[in-house]
Amino acid sequence: MKWTYNIKNKFLASIVLLTLCLLVLFSNYLDRKHTQNVKNSISTLYEDRLIAENYILQMTSIIYQIREILKSDLNTFKTNAVIKLIEDFNGTYYIYSKTKLTQTEKATAVELISSLKNFEQTVLNNNFEISNTEKILFSLGKLSTIQLDESKLIMKNVEAQHATIKATSQFAFAIIIIILVVLQIIVFSGESLIPVIKPNDPRHN
């Protein structure tokens, strides 16, 4: 019944090879998934955090320009100059509002634009107190802090994903090694699957 033994060995070897191929494909899938996750995280970090932070810095710069104008003695031109800068602020805020905002950012952005409108009204009423800009700067500071916190969270998630995928890949690699060892044992413990052709003895001719 040697043929049944050979068939059994062939079947077992086929199962082991199939499992090996599946593990290799799974490991490749994990690598591609990790690469895609990193790309998405970098894109999010750039588009929704670094660019948003740049808009916040621009708005902050505008407010400080307004404060410098409010300190000046040119009362005749103050209102027009400040209103012009507020328009610039609103333009930058509009672009900023189109980025991906968290719920906390949205709430803080509402506070920011409300404080800006209140400040604009004080300017129209010829009230040029610098202290009227404090709430605006406070909201901008909160938005900037949120950008930093969200960036740290993104990096933390990337590191966690990397650690998980790395551990899974290492486990899959260990299984592949075990399967290769088992395959070697099957090959060397069984009889040759290829029949050996013995030459005819010329004396039998």
Q: Mind listing the pLDDT tens digit for each residue in 101-116?
A: 889 999 999 999 999 9
The ranges assigned to domains in the chain are 2-189
> Which DSSP string do the residues of the chain spell out, in sequence order?
-HHHHHHHHHHHHHHHHHHHHHHHHHHHHHHHHHHHHHHHHHHHIIIIIIHHHHHHHHHHHHHHHHHHHHHSS-HHHHHHHHHHHHHHHHHHHHHHHTS---HHHHHHHHHHHHHHHHHHHHHHTT---GGGGHHHHHHHHHHHHHHHHHHHHHHHHHHHHHHHHHHHHHHHHHHHHHHHHHHHHHHHHSPPSS---PPPPGGG-
Cα radius of gyration rounded to whole Å, the chain: 35
Closest CA to 57 of 119, 143, 152: 143
pLDDT digits (tens, 9 = 90+) for 13-29: 677 677 777 777 777 77
pLDDT digits (tens, 9 = 90+) for 125-143: 888 888 889 999 999 999 9
> Which DSSP string do the residues of 153-196 spell out, in sequence order?
HHHHHHHHHHHHHHHHHHHHHHHHHHHHHHHHHHHHHSPPSS--
pTM given for the model: 0.64
Q: How confident is the model at residue 199 (pLDDT cuts 50, 70, 90)?
A: low
CATH class entry, domain 2-189: mainly alpha
Residue 164 pLDDT > 50: yes
